[in-house]
A and B are shown apart, each in its own frame.
Chain A
Amino acid sequence: MPPESVALAQPATKPTDRTAARARAVRNRTLLVQGCRLLVLAAVLGLWEWFARTGVIDPFNFSMPSRIWDQIWTWTAHGTAQGPLGAQIWATLYEALYGWVIGVAAGVLLGIALGRVRFLADVFGPYVKILNAMPRIVLAPIFLIWFGLGPASKIASAVVLVFFPVFFNAFQGAREVDRNLVANARILGASDRRVTFQVVIPSATSWIFTSLHISFGFALIGAIVGEYIGATEGIGLLVANSQGTLNSAGVYAAMVILAVVALAAEGLLTLVEKRLFRWKPVQPGAER
């Protein structure tokens, strides 16, 4: 056998070996990461439980995971003092969603309008800044006085929290549209209206979507704080009542439920985003 053929045969088998090894390494790493994640969770919950049971921390104030779990279970199985748990979650979700939709719609509309029309931006700019500088959460008690104990006051606080981040992102997005794209559209024959709808809005959507993620969290905060101050139902009221009866497990349980709700909403939003941004290249490292 001539020596060349030996040399040729080797690289033919090697790459497949290497690909398999690489795939194995990736799989192992994923397993390792997920294993460690579970371990961290178990360690934190375990230590918490252990400290609470041995009296290192006061279980009355700090509660413990088993009690929190029991509380969630009781609420799920037998309902809360204010009615079934599902109704409480739905009440909060309803207020948050309602407020979020209004806040997002207003934020996007005004953001794009002010981003596109210089005159409007010059007139309203300072007022928007002043309103944004206010700690808007203090408006919640005022909304309670205006709109009463029902959902309207919570929706209002969610709206004021959601509006500003969405507005600023839409405004920035409309401002930072690639000038070449606008020039190109105009040369191709687009009217001002067309430029707004077919160039400015599509290129601002990635900006707007960034704000949608955080703003849903804000909507939940608005709804919860509103409920906490005064309501007839909702998770915020659950927190307030648990606190009132010195039931710390109840406060934590409400928090856990909220976190699950927020994560589910976030997941839904990501799904919509993926569908909407098919035109975008997948960024390396963005997949987790």
Chain B
Amino acid sequence: MTHHTSPAIELRGAGKAFRTPSGALHTAVRELDLTVERGEFVAVVGPTGCGKSTTLTLVSGLEEPTEGEVLVGGEPVRGIGGDVGFVFQQDAVFPWRTVLSNVMAGPRFRGVAKTEARERARDWLARVGLSAFEDRYPHQLSGGQRKRVALAATFVNDPSILLMDEPFSALDVQTRALMSDQLLELWAGTGSSVVFVTHDLEESIALADKVVVMTAGPATVKEVFTIDLPRPRKVEEVRLEPRFVEIYREIWSSLGEEVRITRERGTADAA
């Protein structure tokens, strides 16, 4: 069966153009070719605002490509698939639901019985260390805790594809390292394939098996680097290793150029 041999995610010449309010056509991404194997952790880095997030919305089925093909599990994406999880950059927890109810939302939406949904939600809340907070409302939590709720709410659905859009960018540095470790721990048991979008190169190397560098917008894949650092990793320790620094230098020589192009454009726009 092709279903089991095909890669988890495949983008073939995918592109997405939006119609801006003024009527002009804005190309967010173009000619994207990218393969994510099953169980692989892929980080996508690129200059700020280059269209990295668009790649995720194409894979998730929230948006359709205007060109090319997007395949998940060997099948073209049609609408939102059942085995996709998405962690957003901004808070996307439901403010009117308690922590427990937030984590139960996914299974409940998918028709799981209440008692079973509650059991699964409690299990994941325990794994992210929020068991004591299940009756709180999101506004009573810190940013890091809310992010943990979002992680639990995503993992509870047991997604085989995990899409993350700069999930930790709003957190402070220490919380961020903590969350990255926690993410690696949670992910290790699931065997799911991850696409993690970020503009932080260190974060991407520390987390991923493969780092994809995007060009300045309209974005396309510039280069793909394999990260051969051993697992399990602790993000704050791994970044001190000589190999890490070596990889960092290598990828930065590719990414830095795109960042410079974006910056120059920014100053040109401002002038």
Give A residues with C-beta under 8 Å from B. 178, 180-181, 183-191, 194, 198-199, 202-203, 278-281
B95 partner residues in chain A, CB cutoff 8 A: 279-280
Closest residue of B by beta carbon distance from A190: B109
The 5 closest A-B pairs by CB, nearest first: A184-B92, A189-B109, A188-B106, A189-B110, A281-B139
Is the beta-carbon distance between A181 and B92 smaller than 8 angstroms?
yes
Give B residues with C-beta under 8 Å from A. 60, 62, 80, 82, 84-86, 88, 90-98, 105-106, 109-110, 137-140, 153-154, 157
Is the beta-carbon distance between A202 and B62 smaller than 8 angstroms?
no
Q: Do A184 and B96 form a contact, CB below 8 Å, given A189-B106, A189-B109, A278-B137?
A: no
List 17 A–B pairs whose Cβ atoms lie within 8 Å, in order of A's numbering: A180-B90, A183-B86, A184-B86, A184-B93, A185-B105, A188-B153, A188-B154, A189-B82, A189-B110, A190-B105, A198-B94, A202-B94, A202-B96, A279-B137, A279-B138, A279-B139, A281-B140
B90 partner residues in chain A, CB cutoff 8 A: 180
Distance from B116 Cβ to chain A, minimum over Cβ atoms (Å): 15
Distance from B136 Cβ to chain A, minimum over Cβ atoms (Å): 10
User: Interface majority SS on A: helix, strand, loop or mixed?
Assistant: helix
Taken together as a complex, chains A and B put the C-alpha atoms of A264 and B72 apart, in Å, by 59
Is the beta-carbon distance between A181 and B94 smaller than 8 angstroms?
yes
User: Interface majority SS on B: helix, strand, loop or mixed?
Assistant: loop
Q: Do A199 and B94 form a contact, CB below 8 Å, given A183-B62, A188-B109, A281-B139?
A: yes
Is the beta-carbon distance between A186 and B94 smaller than 8 angstroms?
no
Is the beta-carbon distance between A185 and B109 smaller than 8 angstroms?
yes
Closest residue of B by beta carbon distance from A194: B109
B80 partner residues in chain A, CB cutoff 8 A: 186-187
Q: Do A279 and B92 form a contact, CB below 8 Å, given A183-B62, A185-B105?
A: no
Closest residue of A by beta carbon distance from B138: A279
**Given A189-B157, A198-B105, 14 more contacts at CB 8 Å?**
A178-B92, A183-B62, A184-B93, A185-B94, A185-B105, A187-B84, A188-B110, A188-B153, A189-B82, A189-B106, A198-B109, A279-B97, A279-B98, A280-B139
B96 partner residues in chain A, CB cutoff 8 A: 202-203, 279
B109 partner residues in chain A, CB cutoff 8 A: 185, 188-191, 194, 198
Q: Do A183 and B153 form a contact, CB below 8 Å, given A188-B109, A189-B106?
A: no
A185 partner residues in chain B, CB cutoff 8 A: 94, 105, 109
A202 partner residues in chain B, CB cutoff 8 A: 94, 96
A190 partner residues in chain B, CB cutoff 8 A: 105, 109
Most central of B91, B105, B153, B157 by chain A CB within 10 Å: B105
Taken together as a complex, chains A and B put the C-alpha atoms of A194 and B106 apart, in Å, by 11
Is the beta-carbon distance between A184 and B110 smaller than 8 angstroms?
no
Taken together as a complex, chains A and B put the C-alpha atoms of A184 and B153 apart, in Å, by 10
Q: Do A186 and B92 form a contact, CB below 8 Å, given A280-B139, A281-B139?
A: no
B153 partner residues in chain A, CB cutoff 8 A: 188
Most central of A180, A184, A203, A278 by chain B CB within 10 Å: A184
Is the beta-carbon distance between A187 and B60 smaller than 8 angstroms?
yes
Taken together as a complex, chains A and B put the C-alpha atoms of A191 and B105 apart, in Å, by 12
